[in-house]
Amino acid sequence: MGLKIDSVLIHGGTDGDLTTGAVNVPVYQTSTYKQDGLGKNRGWEYSRTGNPTRDALEKLIADLEKGSYGLAFASGLAAINTVLSLFKTGDRLVVSDNIYGGTFRILDNVFKNFGITYTIVDTSDADAVEKALGDDVKAVYVESPANPLLTVTDIEKIAKISHDHGKLLIVDNTFMTPYLQQPIVLGADIVIHSGTKYLGGHSDTVSGLAVVNDKALADRLYYLQNAIGGVLAPWDSFLMIRGIKTLGVRMDRHEKNANRIAEWLSGSGYVTKVYYPGLVSDPGYEIQKKQARGAGAMISFVLDEKYDYKVFFESLKLITLAESLGGVESLVCHPASMTHAAIPADIRKKVGIVDELIRFSVGIEDVEDLIADLEQAIKASEKKEA
Ligand SMILES: Cc1ncc(COP(=O)(O)O)c(C=O)c1O
């Protein structure tokens, strides 16, 4: 039965415990499984290789992304590490010019040491992507909307270009979740998530996920998942399944609040720039509308130089200054010194990650309370005349 996404969120994957009928998949808190004789197991051998709670989450994320195979990892970066391990010395990746700082760090300081290199490209420019696709390029790696400038890449177009040149397309779908955007349907080969964010949704679990459609690719990734070992624990898998059940209602509210705040910020006179693909004035608006069901709830803005961003952060009362995003509570961060500090200052400046840039993960609190908090903190941060 072709269920709609709101039903898949509740009933996708294994939908409860097959042995007892418990409506929730139990936490199979076990590292190993009894074997009935040599070579005679009951489908489970060792929990790095497979665990029923993790398996339920893996099937659920595959259903949600409309892929065939899901994999769950101990963090988003463990998922990224495993996916990047598909490549070998001499391979090159073409990567979006604004991506999560940790993704840049693992490419620049880990995989580069093994001879796997990368070229940074503005992936919203399809011609620039095509030009970068030399013989040694094996994959294009995209975030859309990207962290932290919300740059939108036309996934369908980049998938076609990548495939025409025999390259894989990898999409980090963390900011959107499958509720809003399904990159596999748009042609991506591998979808990655930091499940820590909207999928978990409550800032209480660190996790990562990957989804693919192709059997050979899935087999290689399952092999790497077991060989590298960065798997998600049973309890965290349970928390992820539990969080995902409310993804739809949370995202609707997150987005409603984000739309209102983006409009308010734009007309406030307090900021010089608002990045949000839900604004008609945003350069990514039309493509976002075409490829996703909404614009999500991540907003970045540049505070006018009349205001001191350090004082702004310290003056917030309801909104929390913290790393991470996608939880029910509103979080702000300072990309230049926090999430994107691993990106060299010259690249940061070139792409627009300036010191005054503030990234806002809009929560599901009352939106008027959020606006009041933003406004009082901005006013409190006004620089005094010398
Ligand atoms: C877009 C994106 N991808 C991947 C990651 C890494 O995920 P994790 O922190 O779960 O390792 C993050 C973390 O902030 C992120 O924002």
Interval 341-362 mean pLDDT: 90
Ligand 1 interacting residues, C-beta cut-off 6 A: 75-77, 100, 102-103, 143, 147, 172, 174, 194, 196, 206, 208
Q: How far is CA 345 from the centre of its chain?
A: 23
Interval 277-286 mean pLDDT: 98
Q: How confident is the model at residue 346 (pLDDT cuts 50, 70, 90)?
A: confident
Q: How confident is the model at residue 348 (pLDDT cuts 50, 70, 90)?
A: confident
Test site for ligand 1: of 181, 193, 197, most ligand atoms within 8 A of the Cβ: 197
What CATH code would you report for 248-380? 3.90.1150.10
State pLDDT tens for residues 31-64: 999 999 999 999 999 999 999 999 999 999 999 9
Q: How confident is the model at residue 124 (pLDDT cuts 50, 70, 90)?
A: very high
State pLDDT tens for residues 194-210: 999 999 999 999 999 99
Task: Quote the pTM value.
Answer: 0.97
CA-to-CA separations, 27 to 44, 210, 237, 240, 343, in angstroms, rounded: 15, 21, 8, 11, 38
Catalytic residue among 28, 55, 91, 100: 100
Query: What integer pLDDT is reported at residue 386 of this predicted model?
Result: 60
Q: Which residue has the tokens 């503030």?
A: 358
HSE toward the beta carbon, residue 119, CA cutoff 13 A = 19
8 A C-beta contact, residue 211 and residue 185: no
Q: How many residues does the chain have?
A: 386
Q: Which of 7-21, 50-64, 338-352 has the highest mean pLDDT?
A: 50-64
Test site for ligand 1: of 71, 100, 105, 106, most ligand atoms within 8 A of the Cβ: 100
Class for the domain spanning 5-244? alpha beta
CA 36–ligand 1 middle distance (angstroms): 41
Q: How far apart are CA 284 and CA 151, in angstroms?
A: 7
Strand partners, 142: 171
Q: How confident is the model at residue 349 (pLDDT cuts 50, 70, 90)?
A: confident
DSSP string of 316-372? -SSSEE-S---SSS-EEE-TTTTTTTTS-HHHHHHHT--TTEEEEE--SS-HHHHHH
Q: What percent of the chain has a predicted confidence (pLDDT) above 70?
A: 99
Query: What integer pLDDT is reported at residue 264 of this predicted model?
Result: 98
Catalytic residue among 92, 157, 197, 348: 197
Test site for ligand 1: of 174, 202, 232, 331, most ligand atoms within 8 A of the Cβ: 174
* Residue 48 is among the residues annotated as catalytic for this protein: yes
Q: How confident is the model at residue 18 (pLDDT cuts 50, 70, 90)?
A: confident
Give ranges for CATH 3.40.640.10 in the chain.
5-244
Q: How far apart are CA 372 and CA 33, in angstroms?
A: 55
Catalytic residue among 63, 91, 108, 172: 172
Q: Which of 194, 190, 183, 185 is nearest to 169 (CA)?
A: 190
Ranges of H-type helices in 147-267: 155-164, 177-180, 215-228, 234-244, 247-266
Report the largest interatomic distance among the alpha carbons of the chain, rounded to a whole angstrom. Answer: 82
339 pLDDT above the threshold of 90? no
Q: How far apart are CA 116 and CA 137, in angstroms?
A: 10
Q: How far apart are CA 356 and CA 109, in angstroms?
A: 27
1 pLDDT above the threshold of 80? no
- Residue minimizing CA distance to atom 14 of ligand 1: 324
Give ranges for CATH 3.90.1150.10 in the chain.
248-380
CA 380–ligand 1 middle distance (angstroms): 32
* Residue 172 is among the residues annotated as catalytic for this protein: yes
Average pLDDT, the chain: 96
